[in-house]
Structure 1
Amino acid sequence: MCRNIRQLHNFEPPATTDEVDAAALQYVRKVSGSTRPSQANQEAFDRAVAEVAHATRHLLDALVTTAAPKDREVEAAKARARSAERYAR
């Protein structure tokens, strides 16, 4: 599950709300051990996702770096190349 959480800091353009929400959802799924909570737990699950997304946005807004922002397309191409090499065997 957590392999789907991607680095969100220091990209140009900055991480979108959808990316932050997706990372929060993956985190809560991993911590709770459930990809689809029961009806009894749905409210707590949704609240946790919203709180983690909120905290993540605050973290991303507060982080500073002197490094140049990364390009999403270049990083995606590097990831595809690593994947192709890994699974070509």
Structure 2
Amino acid sequence: MCRNIRVLNNFEPPATEDEIGAAALQYVRKVSGTTRPSAANEAAFDEAVRVITAATRTLLDGLVTKAPRRDREVEAAKAKARAAERYGPRATASN
């Protein structure tokens, strides 16, 4: 479930509200143990996502670093290379 939570700090351009909200949603799903709350729990679930989104934005806005900003495309390429090394190159289906 938490595979979709990514590092959001120190990127150019900065993390979007959608990225922060997606990370908050994944966190709440993991902690609650459900991907879709029941009707009785929906309000609490949605409020938790809202609060965690706001807290994450506050955190990201307050962090200070001297490191150069990371490029999303470069980081994605590095992640793909690590995955290929770990899992092997994906075989392409040929018919």
- Length-normalised TM-score, structure 1: 0.97
- Aligned counterparts of 1:58 and 1:13: Cα–Cα separation in 2: 17
Q: How much is the aligned-residue C-alpha RMSD, in angstroms?
A: 1.0
User: Greater relative contact order (Cα 8 A, min sep 6): structure 1 or 2?
Assistant: 1
Q: Aligned residues: percent identity?
A: 72
- In structure 1, the residue corresponding to 2:41 is in which secondary structure? helix
The AA in structure 2 aligned to 1:15 is A
The AA in structure 1 aligned to 2:72 is R
- Aligned counterparts of 1:49 and 1:5: Cα–Cα separation in 2: 14
Q: CA deviation at 1:86?
A: 1.1
Higher radius of gyration, 1 or 2: 2
Structure 1 alignment gaps of length 5 or more: none
Q: CA deviation at 1:3?
A: 2.0
The AA in structure 1 aligned to 2:82 is R
Q: Does 1:10 align with 2:19?
A: no
- Length-normalised TM-score, structure 2: 0.91
Structure 2 alignment gaps of length 5 or more: 90-95
- Aligned counterparts of 2:88 and 2:12: Cα–Cα separation in 1: 31
- Aligned counterparts of 2:76 and 2:33: Cα–Cα separation in 1: 28
Which structure: greater helix fraction?
Answer: 1
The AA in structure 2 aligned to 1:22 is A
Q: How does 1:2-81 map to 2 (within 5 A)?
A: 2-81=2-81
Q: CA deviation at 1:4?
A: 1.4
Structure 1 residue ranges, 4+ long, deviating more than 4 angstroms after superposition: none
